[in-house]
Copies of this chain bind each other. A is one copy, B any other.
Amino acid sequence: MTEIEKTLENHQVRPTAMRILIYKYLAEKEIAVALTDIESAFAKAERTTLYRTLKTFEEKKIVHQIDDGTGISKYALCESGCNCEIDQDLHLHFHCNNCNETVCLTEHKIPQIKVPDGFVSENVNLVVKGICDKCSGQ
């Protein structure tokens, strides 16, 4: 029983071959991935399977969905690289306009956002766009 299998079972997800592969893929990638990314990485697998796997992972809090403003849903593992459990579920993501990759910037906390009276804040999504470290030539 591998680490990944344990992790999946801890989240009430049965560790099938496909799921382990997808988990591995997500773990290796440091960036948020879209369904199509996984699709091209696993050419043999059906899109639907990948789609439903991601949905399952999302439900079971293994990954969380990221909206980086490209209009395409992306996903990233919740552990180590993302603080989606903390208080207000603050997401801080950086989307590179050059390479189109989206990364989690977890070191940088989001300042408390105030909303007007009557508004109830449940969730904050912050996407910074620009040029990432790899593309800016450091």
Contacts and interface: CB of A to CB of B under 8 A. Distances in A.
Interface of A: 67, 69, 71, 73, 94, 97, 105, 107-108, 110-111, 113-134, 136, 138
B119 A115 contact: no
Q: Is the interface of A mostly helix, strand, loop or mixed?
A: loop
A120 B128 CA distance: 9
Given A71-B67, A71-B71, A73-B71, A116 B122 contact: no
Give the copy number: 2
Contacts of A127: 124-126
Nearest to A129: B123
10 contacts: A71-B71, A94-B115, A94-B119, A108-B115, A110-B113, A111-B111, A113-B126, A121-B130, A123-B129, A123-B130
Contact of A121 (B69, B116, B123, B128): B128
